[in-house]
Chain A
Amino acid sequence: MKITSLNIKKKLEVTYIGEPRGKTPGKPKTDLFVELKQNISEINSNKLKISLKAGNATFVENWTRPSRALQIFDKDKLKQEVIKIYNGIVDNTLLKKGTTTLNLAFFISTSSKTYSIEGRGPLKLNDVEALEAYTATNKFGADSELTPNCFFKGNVPESISEFIDNLVPFDSGALKYLEDLYIHIRGSNESRGGSLFIKRESIDSPWYINPDWATALDIKEEVVDGVRKYK
């Protein structure tokens, strides 16, 4: 007799249901933390650090500071993109309708249309970058309850077992279920400190790269014919 499938029953005990524990200046990426007494082999852990927003996310990183951006991107790659964005805003080719705001803020979202450079849209995050943006492993640490190890998308089923069956572990394989991510530029007049990566003092003033970003990314400034150039 050929056995095609087998259901192994296991009794599990819940020991914690609630928010992830731990301090964070921003919001944790784990939406709900459930701890069990026994290991769940699908997740390879007794801790279900569940991301529930991941399935329909739009903004994945909000008001991103340079320190966080460098946890996601390679420094040189980010540096080149920031300089290209600066050149694009100075040439007025970056944004389709231009902007009347004084600052450009750095976000990461699923939108592929917030700016254009050299005939392409916003920089798309590669798998490693996207996984970090979704989980913030480098920010909180892999063992932190604030870092999700699985996500759930869809309607909540009636049984816990079915819910666990539908959890997707947050490894590189998870990305096939998640939307692509892109750098997202948002014009802003809000006072948002470090996330405002390109600024100007007034609508008639020239744009410049926020010195905090320039320092973090080793961007050098020089003035050529009264215009700021960065390299």
Chain B
Amino acid sequence: MNLIDRAILEWSYKTKKGYPDINSQEDMALFESLFGFELGESNMGGKATGYPSTTGTFEKYVRDKKDSSTFMYSADKDTILIPTSEDDERLNIKKGEEFNIISKSELDLIKKGASKFATIKYGGKEYLINLTAINKPTGKGVEKFEPGDSKKLKTGVLHPFIPGHAQEKDVALLFQNASDENYEFEHKKKT
């Protein structure tokens, strides 16, 4: 039995069900108490596979993600949002709360000390958030079609749904992304 097997076995023995459930807060807290670190999903800081720079994860999951402008990202932990406007105040955001990312590329990120911050839209206002506080959208989250409409002046036009196949999502995104903030677009009718 290798070290990883032993660790999982140890964790399993102490859970109520006899096996760990990563969706159970209790089981995840137990893991942290046993091994001294949190087994969470990784965040948007640092490099990613195929993206070796220090902002690689951001490049992969925001800059190069086709639907990033409408995708709902979430906070990886409880954190503070810094307002971009002096008229607004700092805000606390809870882990799991969702927002849109406004920064489109690594060049749009703002450096504060050793940390890099992305601009997000949350509750109708713009804030800065540390990249390490943004949850990296992996697994099912990438496939979920629930784009935000924070860049639009109108709401309630796009209704989230579960696409039967990828093309449904692509066409829905075309109407969402290729129309302006009023959901208007120019149609050149050929005659």
Contacts and interface: CB of A to CB of B under 8 A. Distances in A.
A80 interface: no
Nearest to B164: A31
Contacts of A32: 168, 171-172
A161 interface: yes
A41 to B, nearest CB: 7
B108 to A, nearest CB: 22
A11 to B, nearest CB: 6
Given A14-B157, A31-B164, A32-B171, A160 B179 contact: yes
A156 interface: yes
A34 interface: yes
B182 interface: yes
A6 B191 contact: yes
Nearest to B178: A160
Interface residues of B, number: 27
A7 B160 CA distance: 34
Contact of B184 (A6, A11, A31, A50): A11
A230 interface: no
A192 to B, nearest CB: 21
Contacts of B184: 11-14
A16 B188 contact: no
Interface in B142-176: 157-161, 164-165, 167-168, 170-172, 174-176
A5 B191 CA distance: 6
Interface string A1-32: 00001111111111111110000000100011
A152 interface: yes
Contact of B165 (A42, A53, A164, A165): A53
B160 A160 contact: no
A225 interface: no
Contacts of B189: 7-10, 41-42
B187 A18 contact: no
Contacts of B164: 27, 31, 53
Contacts of A53: 164-165
Given A8-B191, A50-B171, A53-B165, A16 B159 contact: yes
B158 A161 contact: no
Nearest to A158: B178
B175 to A, nearest CB: 5
Interface of B: 157-161, 164-165, 167-168, 170-172, 174-176, 178-179, 182-191
21 contacts: A10-B186, A10-B189, A11-B185, A11-B186, A12-B186, A13-B183, A15-B183, A16-B157, A17-B176, A18-B158, A19-B161, A31-B167, A32-B168, A42-B189, A50-B171, A53-B165, A156-B174, A157-B174, A161-B185, A163-B174, A165-B190
Interface of A: 5-19, 27, 31-32, 34, 40-42, 50, 52-53, 152, 156-161, 163-165
Given A53-B164, A156-B171, 9 more contacts: A7-B189, A14-B183, A17-B159, A18-B161, A27-B164, A40-B187, A41-B189, A156-B167, A160-B178
